[in-house]
Amino acid sequence: MSAYALLIAHELLAGVLFYTCFCRAVRMDTDTTSYGVMFAFYLLGLSAVLMIAAPIVSAWRPTLPTMALMLAIIIVQVVTSHYWHAGVPKQFQKVPHENAG
């Protein structure tokens, strides 16, 4: 695979990963979602932004292993996306004692 093709594929994968995080981010809010879950998905979204930016702003170049890892995360995100159709999944919502604080 040429370096151009690898780079374009990397940018596309990183864009898809960012979009999956964006779709979850718009469904969350501080009243209902557990802070741990919010922070975890925030870090994932931030990593996606970093993956998009890295080849543009620095000399870092994507490799097949990094792309394989990103593809695997995207597959997890896509496969679990149907749990988010009705909003934040029950297991990710705050338990009552978290709301009391």
Partner 1 sequence: MAPEPTSAGSTGIAALLIAILGPLGGEYAAIIFAALGGALWPLQTMKDVSKKKGAFFLFRVVITAVLITGSATYWLEAKYELPALHGMTVVAFFIGAMGNGFGSVIDALRAGLAATAKALSTLGKDAGAP
Number of residues that bind partner 1 (CB under 8 A): 29
Decide if residue 46 touches partner 1 (CB under 8 A). yes
| Smallest separation, CB 78 to partner 1 (Å) | 16
H/E element, 9: helix 3-25
The encoded tokens of residue 5 equal 């093709």
83 to each of 54, 80, 93, how far by Cα in Å? 31, 6, 13
Among 13, 17, 52, 67, binds partner 1 (CB under 8 A): 52
Cα separation of 2 and 18, whole Å? 24
69 to each of 2, 23, 30, 66, how far by Cα in Å? 19, 20, 30, 5
Decide if residue 98 touches partner 1 (CB under 8 A). no
Decide if residue 30 touches partner 1 (CB under 8 A). yes
Decide if residue 65 touches partner 1 (CB under 8 A). no
Q: Where on the chain is the footprint of partner 1 (CB under 8 A)?
A: 2-4, 7, 11, 21-23, 25-26, 28-31, 33, 38, 41-42, 45-46, 49-50, 52-53, 55-57, 59, 61
